[in-house]
Amino acid sequence: MVEGLMRKNYNRNISKMRKILIFLTALIISSTVNVSAQEDAPTTYPTKKYEHNFYAAFGVFFDYGDDVNSWSHEMVLSKGVSYKLGYGLNYYFTDMLSVMGGVAYRRDWERAFVSFDGGSADCFGFIDFPVVFQVHLKDTEQPNNKWMLGLGIVFSPCFDPDEYYFDDDPTSTNTLEDKAIIKNFYVSLMPCLGYEKKHLRLGLEANIGLCDVSKKYKGFDIGSKYLYNICAVVGVKF
């Protein structure tokens, strides 16, 4: 009796597997025919594969770190300006999804419009290498235009780390004089939003520093430094 039940269950399972295989086979054949028909059909608007982007950006720079001159090492937020010029090459997987790699020249300047006596200007220079994944959504009111949402990562070698300067205190014997303020490399996260109209893109993008860039020296309490910015972007694409 037990063997009969086992054989019955076995036959049921085999029957179910056959039905599933038949269904999957029919689905695969149907999908193949559909894809083949789409490839053979003429397309009025073929999917663009590559797109060149040239852009300029200007915005606010934030320097966030602890104040080593205070006994409590409280965290302090300083502001300045950030600007960059860049090029990006966008590769489209579909009309909706793309990834853009590129290169940009960037300056973050903390004391751009602030008068100060001596000391360092905290003006840093970077060459950015962003890799950004983008989603392009049609504007329902303007079908020829699109909204772009992006998120990526930026690798930033620093070509100008600025230097400690103590001219405001001529008697200072601080051995940090002329030493680099920040490290020569850091990584940031880049969220971005844009509106695309034919060859024009307007938008916002940010750099969110993921690591402490303050360069440490033995025997000195340097403190931490995290760099952020948010910029308005104007670009052309073709």
Does residue 208 have a pLDDT over 80?
A: yes
- Same-domain check for residues 206 and 228: yes
- Same-domain check for residues 67 and 36: no
- Same-domain check for residues 102 and 176: yes
pLDDT single digits (tens) 63-102: 998 876 666 667 888 899 999 999 999 999 999 999 999 9
- If DSSP states are collapsed to H, E and C, what string results for the chain? CHHHHHHHHHHHHHHHHHHHHHHHHHHHHHHHHHHHHHHHCCCCCCCCCEEEEEEEEEEEEEEEEECCCCCCCCEEEEEEEEEEEEEEEEEECCCCEEEEEEEEEEEEECCCCCCCCCCCCCEEEEEEEEEEEEEEEECCCCCCEEEEEEEEEEEEEEEECCECCCCCCCCCCCCCCCCECECCEEEEEEEEEEEEECCEEEEEEEEEECCCCECCCCCCCCCCCEEEEEEEEEEEEC
**Mean pLDDT computed over 111-122:** 68
Q: Which domain holds residue 20?
A: 1-41
Final residue before a domain boundary, out of 41, 58, 73: 41
- Same-domain check for residues 162 and 184: yes
- Same-domain check for residues 36 and 125: no
- Same-domain check for residues 79 and 161: yes
Q: What is the pTM of this model?
A: 0.74
Specify the higher pLDDT residue, 143 or 184: 184
- Same-domain check for residues 145 and 35: no
- Same-domain check for residues 98 and 159: yes
Does residue 48 have a pLDDT over 90?
A: no
Number of domains forming the structure of the chain? 2
